[in-house]
Structure 1
Amino acid sequence: MLNEIQYLISLDRPPFEKGKIIILKRSNGYETHWSYVSGEEESLETLYSGPELERAWLAAEATRQARCRDGFRLQTPHITFYLSAIPKPFLTVRKLECFCSKHHDANLFQELREWRRTASNAAKVPPYFIGTDRLLSIIAALVPQKEEELLQIPGIGQTKLDSYGQEILKITNKYPQIYSFPLDWIQRKVSEEELATWLLEDKIKREERHQVRMKQELEEKRQMLEAIEDQISIGNILDKMSLTMVQFLKRIRELSRDGYDVLPYLQQEVERIKEKDQIVDLVSSLGNERLKPIFEKLYGSMEELPRDEKGEKYNHIRLVCTYLQIQSAA
């Protein structure tokens, strides 16, 4: 039974050949088809049929690339559809992202990613707070050499320039600058067809990454359920699965929402925390939206405390808060 069309694009090859790549969602899985029309001749080729959406997308993308190499071109409705969703003020930014994704220096991009990892650890913020992969790709393509060039890059304002500008320039100054500033040439360099195709490819890649993440999360949940059943301590689970406490507790809350009884295991782990009663009382009076007030009431500011020890105490508070949340929802 056909539930919906997941994906459809039309291609043509003058003077009279036309084709469509289609992904269908059915009750038992997915199908990818290539529909071809030449004159009065019409054929339908099944490229994939099975339970995995990821493989259906891969079959569609491989076919699109192969047909374009054979001279087929995406039809205008495809371009109009993908560009219509972009507000005009952002069209230049999307063209810039498109160009830089294809022309960045791979070595510089990797060096920027390594710098970002160090900077995010030092600032105790997620890496994307420092800069997304897309922003690093733009920097690695345009290779700014001075502050005024950095400020022309979307995503870098004065605050980010003040915080990280000199560190970024210290890296980019080691590489040659191929493309010029200002960046008004981008509008002419990237055609609407190229942009629309890139947006479609980016959508497929994001869907593939989403599918990979879903599989990883399912595997993590399976491992966690086995570990909980075997009464393995949280510390050992974190080491075995290479998780942080925040990631572990997120998975625990998901398991609880899915109907798994994780309370007995959490209660057992909470009982090992000697300050658990004080934490419970403070959560009752202060709430659990912010952990710092609870921490300071328990331990003071403790600015001189080693990072690992401070992190462990915060994790105790996180664990108790999660236990109380799940308990109240039960």
Structure 2
Amino acid sequence: MNIVFMNQLSVTSEQSEAKYARLWIGEEEDLWQLGWSSMNTGEEQVDIWYEGGSWNELLHIYRFQLAIKMSEGYRPLIDGIFHETEEVKQRNQHTQKLQCYSELYSREELYQALCIWRRKKASTERKAPYFIASNRLLRMISTFVPHTLEELRELPGVGENKLAEYGEELLEITTKETREHGFPLNWVATKLSEEEYESWNYRQKEQKYKQELEKFNLKKSVLTGIVEGQSLDDLSTLTGVNRRELVDFLEELDKSGYDTEILIGKELTWMTDDEQELIWNAYDELGTSFLKPVLHRVYGEDPAGAGSLDQLYERLRMVRIRYRRQTETSKQVG
């Protein structure tokens, strides 16, 4: 086994001496191996995180597993293990520290009051709650407790539009609360310990890289399933992802240049040529950005007799994948 990368990491706690571990990548006969070895009760414990021929898959697992270890307190002997530039780290650090502090020291009662306000507002305006304010923003408001519009504007995620729409209502809630620290928020960097911030930061990376790994594995399963001739229902059973989310993913794959035609063709075999032609012509006339006008053009203003809305929209989206691919190919040829 040829070792192509190795780094030593250590973790220290108040209750025990420093523990050391090694992270390594090896290669032999075009097969990659990713491993972690540590000393446990005097014996070396080796965990193989990956063995196989895919460098991309190895990298996804590397980032995710490493982020878990670093959120547990392990730190590398050689820094830059995630290959981030100092410029990017410095540029994002102020916002990240505000987010970190707000998650560690949030005032839960005030946060819940803000969530209740958001839920009522979303219901009144018929919007999804996250369009009103994200959980992260409500956490920051509940922690830093702005008392003026200028203070509220200092929080990341509060733009002029949000300030104009919801600023006064938010202040009606927050101005009733006392606070230990005021604005500006420069004090956060000194109150937050470096270890608190680093551990929080690596937990964020853990979540991010977990999502990336799950998406990579989903892509691998779907593309393999397409080649093997599996149906959408087969893929849903295999991956645990429902049909609607799978069609979302098929659209992503098609935009990225992957060939999904085998599956699209299989799913459209039960549609008549006339129905597909009507949908195709509707896309020619109305474009592909919005499905509702196409739905009404093809199935009428009351499409209930043609099937459930979920089924109809799935048909439209399947044909749209094929339509976009063929029109894009025609443009390239032209």
Inter-partner Cα distance in structure 2 for 1:269 and 1:175: 62
Partner of 1:25: 25
Let me know the Cα RMSD of the aligned residues: 5.5
Equivalent pair of 2:106/2:143 in contact (CA under 8 Å): yes
Structure 2 portions without partners, runs of 5+: 52-60, 330-334
Q: Which amino acid aligns with 1:60?
A: K
Q: 1:225 to 1:169 in 2, by over 3 A?
A: farther
Partner of 2:96: 94
Match of 1:160 among 159, 162, 166: 162
Q: Which amino acid aligns with 1:141?
A: T
Q: After TM superposition, list the pairs within 5 Å mapping 1:91-240 onto structure 2.
A: 91-106=93-108, 108=111, 112=115, 115=118, 119=122, 122-123=126-127, 130-144=132-146, 147-165=149-167, 168=170, 173=174, 176-182=177-183, 183-192=185-194, 194-215=196-217, 229=230
Inter-partner Cα distance in structure 2 for 1:122 and 1:283: 29
Q: CA deviation at 1:12?
A: 7.3
Q: After TM superposition, list the pairs within 5 Å mapping 1:276-287 onto structure 2.
A: 276-284=276-284, 287=287
Inter-partner Cα distance in structure 1 for 2:263 and 2:197: 48
Q: CA deviation at 1:61?
A: 4.2
Q: CA deviation at 1:56?
A: 4.3
Q: Which amino acid aligns with 1:122?
A: R
Does 1:46 find its partner at 2:18? no
Q: CA deviation at 1:310?
A: 8.0
Inter-partner Cα distance in structure 1 for 2:76 and 2:242: 44
Aligned identity (percent) is 18
Q: 1:253 to 1:61 in 2, by over 3 A?
A: closer
Q: Which amino acid aligns with 1:33?
A: S
Q: Secondary structure at the match of 1:46?
A: strand
Match of 1:60 among 52, 59, 69: 69
Q: 1:229 to 1:44 in 2, by over 3 A?
A: closer
Partner of 1:70: none
Equivalent pair of 1:82/1:199 in contact (CA under 8 Å): no
Cα deviation, 1:197-221, whole Å, max 9, x if unaligned, reads: 4333432342234334555666788
Does 1:84 find its partner at 2:86? yes
Q: Secondary structure at the match of 2:186?
A: coil
Q: Which amino acid aligns with 2:278?
A: Q
Q: CA deviation at 1:159?
A: 0.7
Q: Which amino acid aligns with 2:294?
A: F
Q: 1:206 to 1:118 in 2, by over 3 A?
A: farther
Count matched residues. 300
Inter-partner Cα distance in structure 1 for 2:295 and 2:232: 32
Q: Secondary structure at the match of 1:123?
A: coil
Equivalent pair of 2:20/2:39 in contact (CA under 8 Å): yes
Equivalent pair of 1:21/1:33 in contact (CA under 8 Å): yes
Partner of 2:297: 298
Inter-partner Cα distance in structure 1 for 2:311 and 2:193: 53
Partner of 1:263: 264
Partner of 1:40: none
Inter-partner Cα distance in structure 1 for 2:50 and 2:113: 35
Q: Which amino acid aligns with 2:317?
A: R
Q: Which amino acid aligns with 1:187?
A: A
Equivalent pair of 1:28/1:51 in contact (CA under 8 Å): yes
* TM-score normalized by the length of structure 2: 0.61
* TM-score normalized by the length of structure 1: 0.61
Inter-partner Cα distance in structure 2 for 1:19 and 1:142: 37
Cα deviation, 1:213-247, whole Å, max 9, x if unaligned, reads: 55566678899999x857869xx99xx95453x65
Inter-partner Cα distance in structure 2 for 1:212 and 1:224: 18
Q: Secondary structure at the match of 1:210?
A: helix
Partner of 2:318: 319
Partner of 2:56: none
Structure with more contact order per residue of length (Cα contacts < 8 Å, sep ≥ 6)? 2
Q: Secondary structure at the match of 1:24?
A: strand
Greater CA deviation, 141-150 or 214-223?
214-223
Structure 1 portions without partners, runs of 5+: 37-42, 68-72
Equivalent pair of 2:121/2:132 in contact (CA under 8 Å): no
Q: Which amino acid aligns with 1:139?
A: I
Q: Secondary structure at the match of 1:45?
A: strand
Q: 1:154 to 1:223 in 2, by over 3 A?
A: same
Equivalent pair of 1:2/1:24 in contact (CA under 8 Å): no
Q: Secondary structure at the match of 2:126?
A: helix
